[in-house]
Amino acid sequence: MEHSYRNSRREAIVAGIITIVTCIWVVGTCAALSYGQPVYSIGGIPNWALWGIFVPWVACLVTNIWYSLIYIRDDDEPEKPPSAGGPT
């Protein structure tokens, strides 16, 4: 049971770090590229939206796919004790 708790805690910490880094990137990039700056388009998308929203979403998608397929592993289920008073 301790092993499962440690794995869950580690996975939650990594997911939290990914979320915090993404929030800092999105807010910082959108603020830096939109306020008081000339806005130009890249393929019809404003530069602040491309670098501040679209690119981080794609990066998070790739990171989460890697994280879930490569990094996270299933834990063995603990053996369940026999129930008392049940049918045998």
Question: Mind listing the pLDDT tens digit for each residue in 56-70?
Answer: 999 999 998 998 888
CA distance 58 to 60: 5
- In a domain, residue 21? The reply is yes
Mean pLDDT of 9-26: 92
Please give the share of the chain, as a percent, with pLDDT higher than 70: 82
- In a domain, residue 84? The reply is no
Domain span holding position 63? 2-25+41-71
- Counted domains in the chain: 1
- In a domain, residue 77? The reply is no
Residues in the chain: 88
- In a domain, residue 65? The reply is yes
Q: What is the pLDDT of residue 81?
A: 64
CA distance 40 to 55: 16
Q: Report whether 56 contacts 3 (CB < 8 A).
A: no
- In a domain, residue 10? The reply is yes
CA distance 62 to 54: 13
- In a domain, residue 78? The reply is no
Q: What is the pLDDT of residue 70?
A: 86
- In a domain, residue 79? The reply is no
- In a domain, residue 61? The reply is yes
Residue 88 pLDDT > 60, yes or no?
no
Position 84 confidence tier, pLDDT thresholds 50, 70, 90: low
